[in-house]
């Protein structure tokens, strides 16, 4: 970690942590938007394979995880994280070929939002869950104007939400087992190995070298920059302020899709996105429930 932080000039705190958090969100949205021509030419599976392979090669060179081996169990957690990352990357980028970027991002965000709600199980959290569910229903409901929700895209976006939730759970385990970014390097390498057979198998012919270069360049934006900035920001900010900032990701997805892809949502769909943002922010802003006190033996 020290090598990476020093090399990119953030060890001294020159880059504010909130800016890194926003940068991580912008990078994946930019990658998804810029990837559309490549997806049309070679498909989302092949693109994801090249992106992950590029990020894995760079992380392995920077972190050299083989020098600090943590054992089979820790490596297993990292490989499981890689499987979740591969699933999320494939499903998210594939969904953007069927749905507008803002819709995909908002639906995918249900994964971490649902994970937060399940962790507390309060009545208030049930109301927040209803708000999120109603917002998504408004988002995907057929409208006369605005975005169109294709069933295949919705299935892929929901799958990416599940993978995102698994990614969050497994990231905590890997972060506890490894120091720095060694665990992330192993996870991204595992993701590349998992995605490679599927990605290469979908190619009917050798892609143009220009497309390959574009796919590899997109790997620098996501997952390399996305995961790297996210980890650095989370380490400095803490979970609560980081979670509040993450609530903005659906809005960032809408904004990037609007500017780069000219994907204009309808009024009702904009309300749906706003509802998911509010639900996510509430799960972070509202105080956590107080732990229940166990009765003493003499009170039982």
DSSP assignment letter at 247:
T
CA distances from 44 to 57, 102, 183, 201, 218 (A): 20, 18, 26, 12, 12
Q: Report how far residue 86's alpha carbon sits from residue 80's, in angstroms, rounded to the nearest whole number.
A: 10
Peptide bond into 261 cis (omega under 30): no
pLDDT of the residue at 108: 94
pLDDT at 7: 40
**Structure tokens given for 39:** 């997806």
- Tokens 């992106």 correspond to 51
Per-residue confidence (pLDDT) for residue 158, from 0 to 100: 96
Q: Exposed e or buried b for every residue in 43-81, given b needs 16+ CB within 10 A?
A: bbbbbbbbbbbbbbbbbbebbebeeeebeeebbebbbbb
Write out residues in the chain with pLDDT < 50, as ranges: 1-12, 294-300
- Domain boundaries in the chain? 16-285
**pLDDT of amino acid 73:** 67
Q: What is the DSSP letter of 225?
A: I
Instruction: Specify the pLDDT at position 276.
Output: 92
State the alpha helices, DSSP H only, in 8-71.
17-34, 36-42, 44-63
**pLDDT at site 70:** 62
Q: How far apart are CA 227 and CA 1, in angstroms?
A: 13
- pLDDT of res. 244: 81
- Which residues, 6 or more positions from 67, have their beta carbon under 8 angstroms from its beta carbon? none
Coil, helix or strand at residue 216? helix
pLDDT number for residue 190: 94
């Amino acid at each position: 970690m020290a090598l990476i932080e020093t090399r990119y000039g953030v060890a001294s705190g020159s880059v504010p942590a909130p800016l890194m958090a926003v940068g991580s969100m912008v990078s994946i949205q930019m990658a998804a938007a810029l990837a559309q021509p490549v997806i049309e030419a070679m498909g989302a599976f092949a693109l994801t394979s090249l992106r992950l392979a590029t990020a894995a090669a760079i992380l392995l060179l920077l972190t050299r995880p083989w020098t600090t081996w943590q054992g089979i169990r820790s490596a297993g957690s990292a490989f499981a994280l890689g499987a979740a990352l591969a699933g999320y990357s494939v499903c998210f980028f594939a969904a953007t070929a069927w749905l507008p970027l803002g819709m995909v991002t908002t639906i995918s965000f249900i994964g971490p939002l649902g994970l937060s709600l399940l962790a507390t199980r309060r009545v208030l959290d049930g109301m927040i869950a209803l708000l999120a569910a109603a917002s998504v229903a408004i988002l995907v409901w057929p409208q006369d104007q605005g975005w169109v929700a294709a069933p295949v895209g919705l299935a892929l976006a929901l799958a990416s939400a599940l993978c995102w939730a698994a990614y969050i759970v497994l990231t905590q385990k890997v972060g506890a087992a490894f120091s720095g970014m060694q665990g992330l390097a192993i996870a991204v390498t595992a993701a590349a190995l998992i995605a490679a057979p599927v990605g290469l198998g979908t190619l009917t012919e050798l892609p143009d070298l220009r497309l390959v270069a574009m796919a590899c360049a997109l790997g620098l934006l996501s997952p390399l920059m996305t995961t790297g900035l996210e980890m650095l920001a989370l380490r400095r900010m803490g979970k609560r302020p980081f979670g509040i900032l993450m609530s903005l990701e659906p809005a960032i997805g809408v904004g990037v899709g609007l500017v780069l892809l000219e994907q204009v949502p309808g009024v009702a769909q904009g309300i749906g996105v706003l509802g998911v943002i509010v639900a996510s922010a509430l799960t972070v802003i509202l105080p956590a429930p107080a732990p229940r006190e166990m009765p003493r033996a003499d009170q039982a």
